[in-house]
Amino acid sequence: MKMKYDKVAVGGTFDFLHDGHRAILSKAFEIGKTVQIGIVSDKMNLKKDSAGIQPLEDRKNILKEFLKEKDWWERTELKVIFDPVGPAAEDEDLEAIVVSEETRPGAEKINELREEKNLDSLNIIEIPLVLADDGKPISSIRIRYGEIDGRGNVLKDEKKISDYG
Can you tell me the distance from the alpha carbon of 53 to that of 150, in angstroms, rounded to the nearest whole number?
A: 15
- For 7-56, the pLDDT digits (tens) are 999 999 999 999 999 999 999 999 999 999 999 998 766 555 556 789 99
Residue 157 domain flag: no
SS3 for 165?
coil
Domain that holds residue 73: 5-129
The four Cα atoms 55, 56, 60, 61 give a dihedral, to 10 degrees, of -40
User: pLDDT > 70: what percent of the chain?
Assistant: 88
Q: Is 83 within the bounds of a domain?
A: yes
Q: Is residue 63 over pLDDT 60? A: yes
- Residue 165 domain flag: no
Average pLDDT (112-126) is 97
Domain contains 145: no
Please report the pLDDT score of residue 164 as a whole number.
41
In the prediction, which pLDDT does 43 show? 77
CATH label of the domain that carries residue 75: 3.40.50.620
pTM to 2 decimals?
Answer: 0.89
Residue 136 resides in a domain: no
Q: What is the mean pLDDT of residues 106-122?
A: 97
Q: CA–CA separation, 51 vs 49, rounded Å?
A: 6
Q: Is 159 a domain residue? A: no
Confidence of residue 162 (pLDDT cuts 50, 70, 90): very low
Looking at the domain assignment, is residue 146 inside a domain?
no
Most confident of 50-54, 95-99, 138-142, 155-159: 95-99
Q: Do the beta carbons of residue 19 and residue 150 sit within 8 Å?
A: yes
Where does the chain have alpha helices with state H?
A: 19-31, 56-69, 104-116, 140-144, 158-164
Q: What is the pLDDT of residue 84?
A: 86
- Any idea what DSSP says for residue 88? G
Residues 6, 17: Cα–Cα separation, whole Å: 25
The domain total for the chain is: 1
Enumerate the H helices of 32-157 as residue ranges.
Answer: 56-69, 104-116, 140-144
Residue 158 within any structural domain of the chain: no
User: 45 vs 133, which has greater pLDDT?
Assistant: 133
- What average pLDDT is seen over the chain? 90
- Strands laid side by side in the 76-81 sheet: 76-81, 32-40, 5-12, 96-100, 123-127
Whether 105 and 113 have beta carbons less than 8 Å apart is answered as no
- When computed from its CA atoms, the radius of gyration of the chain, rounded to whole angstroms, is 17
- Cα gap 157→93, rounded to integer Å: 47
Going by the DSSP 8-state scheme, the letter that residue 154 receives in this structure is B
